[in-house]
Every structure is written in structure tokens, then in C-alpha cells.
């Protein structure tokens, strides 16, 4: 029973067709897509993960995996504190596509994929924060350009200072930020 004053959650789920479309989009970007419930997503709508394991001969094998939240809470999605892109401008029916493109962006753009989230001592805490922020910025830009190629990126009010800081960081560490990788479709 709904209690007075509590708003029903606005959830979006994947249809059969959308699931197939996104799974094949992920494959084109060289990623496997797996659905996850919110208990296993630490508050994220999507998650890019490079699974590593050793094969029989001791060689390291990697799988790019996109974990996708199912269902997505629309109000929560729109309430995320953005870096640059104003996520509230993403139409409701494009949220799932945006999340998958964003994660593919991480697969194709993130520097030092293997070590970024586990960097040991190469960057201090502040710089790690900027590195992660820069990765989010790039993944958002990639996703927006992929989904809406002819529309300028809608920016959050007052984001200029942070964006300038992230861009300066990317210039200072341009050796980390190589060009976009060509996806290896699965």
C-alpha cells in the first residue's frame, strides 16, 4: 500500500527489443553486456568493468563488460550531480541508450584501463579524482555525440570552472589520454 506523501518510483525497464539493440551496441563497442539489480550496482546506472583472468597457459585475458542496471529509476538518474553534461536534457526514452554509450566511451577512451581504478602511488588522491572526473567527462561527451550527433552538448550551469580544471589536467597528462581506441566488435 502506498503511504500518503510518498511518490511512486518512476522506473524504466528494458523491452525485449531494446535489450537486443543495446546488447548488440555493446558488442560493436567490444563489450559484453550484463544486467544487474540495484543491490549490485553501488548506486550506478551503468558500470564498465575490465574482467581479467589467466588462461591455461598463464596469459592474461580481458573481457570488457558493461553492467547495466535494470530497472533504472528515472528520478535518480536525473538527480545525479553532473560534471559538464546536463543529464536532465537526456529524454526519458534515450536514458538506456545513453548509459550504454557512456560505458562504451569508458571502454574506448579511458586511459590506463587496467590500472586506472587501482593506481598505486602513481597519482596522488587529488590527481586520481581529476583523472576519474576527466574519464566521466570524456565518456559523457562520447555518449552525447554518439546519440545526438547534430545537437550541441547541453551544459550544466556553473560547470565551467570544473571543466577548465579537468581540461587543464588532461593537457598536463596528455600522455595518459591517448586517442580513442578502435573498438574490436565481439
- Region of 58-66, 80-88, 138-146, 167-175 interacting with Zn ion (CB under 5 A): 138-146
> Which residues is 67 bridged to in the sheet?
34, 47
Contact stretch for Zn ion (CB under 5 A) within 12-20, 50-58, 62-70, 137-145: 137-145
In terms of CB distance, is 23 or 102 closer to Zn ion?
A: 102
Q: What is the distance between the alpha carbons of residues 95 and 153, in angstroms, rounded to a whole number?
A: 15
By C-beta, is 84 or 136 nearer to Zn ion?
A: 136
Q: How far is the CB of 107 from Zn ion (least distance, A)?
A: 11
Residues 6+ apart with CB under 8 A from 112: 119, 176
How far, in Å, CA of 38 to CA of 68, rounded? 9
Per CB under 5 A, which region of 27-35, 51-59, 133-141, 146-154 contacts Zn ion? 133-141
Backbone region of residue 42 per phi and psi (left: phi > 0; alpha: psi in -120 to 50; beta: other values):
left
Identify which of residues 72 and 139 has a Cβ nearer to Zn ion in the complex. 139
By CB under 5 A, name the binding residues for Zn ion: 136, 139
Amino acid at each position: 500500500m502506498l503511504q500518503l506523501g510518498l511518490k511512486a518510483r518512476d522506473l524504466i525497464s528494458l523491452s525485449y527489443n531494446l535489450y537486443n539493440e543495446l546488447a548488440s551496441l555493446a558488442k560493436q563497442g567490444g563489450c559484453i553486456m550484463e544486467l544487474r539489480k540495484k543491490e549490485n550496482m553501488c548506486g550506478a546506472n551503468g558500470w564498465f568493468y575490465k574482467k581479467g583472468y589467466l588462461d591455461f597457459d598463464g596469459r592474461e585475458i580481458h573481457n570488457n563488460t558493461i553492467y547495466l542496471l535494470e530497472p533504472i529509476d528515472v528520478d535518480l538518474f536525473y538527480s545525479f550531480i553532473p560534471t559538464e553534461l546536463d543529464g536532465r536534457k537526456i529524454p526519458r526514452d534515450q536514458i538506456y541508450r545513453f548509459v550504454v554509450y557512456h560505458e562504451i566511451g569508458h571502454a574506448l577512451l579511458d586511459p590506463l584501463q587496467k590500472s586506472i581504478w587501482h593506481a598505486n602511488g602513481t597519482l596522488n588522491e587529488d590527481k586520481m579524482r581529476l583523472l576519474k572526473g576527466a574519464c566521466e567527462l570524456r565518456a559523457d561527451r562520447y555518449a552525447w555525440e554518439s546519440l545526438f550527433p547534430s545537437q550541441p552538448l547541453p551544459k550544466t550551469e556553473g560547470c565551467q570552472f570544473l571543466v577548465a580544471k579537468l581540461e587543464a589536467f588532461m593537457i598536463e597528462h596528455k600522455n595518459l589520454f591517448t586517442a580513442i581506441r578502435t573498438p574490436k566488435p565481439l
